[in-house]
Amino acid sequence: QVQLVESGGGLVQAGGSLRLSCAASGSIRSINAMGWYRQAPGKQREWVGTINRLGSTNYADSVQGRFTISRDNAKNTVYLQMNSLKPLDTGVYYCNGLIETYYGGPRDYWGQGTQVTVSS
């Protein structure tokens, strides 16, 4: 009923930038918070940052000052601008949304993930 589709991943050199997008579609009544998570090889998924419906953001310490989350409510899309990338930022990046549909109350939805690789 709801799909989150990420795009924009790829290979970049350390110090470079990438911009990820995540578009939500389906029987969406409202989208509350949206966020980004990542999972490095052999590690658990970790929170990167969140943006609420009003545009307020919070970030993990590891990305504060380098990553910026924004959203376009009209397009049901959230973005992750990643600057000054480091090899430690390598991983699969997942989009998350707390979404209310016409069939039920708010619940978490996840995208399929997009690979980000930062070379040294």
What local confidence, expressed as pLDDT, does residue 105 receive? Answer: 84
One pLDDT digit (tens) per residue for the chain, 120 residues: 899 999 999 999 999 999 999 999 999 999 999 999 999 999 999 999 999 999 999 999 999 999 999 999 999 999 999 999 999 999 999 999 999 999 988 999 999 999 999 999
Provide CB contacts within 8 A for 68, sequence distance 6+: 57, 80, 81, 83
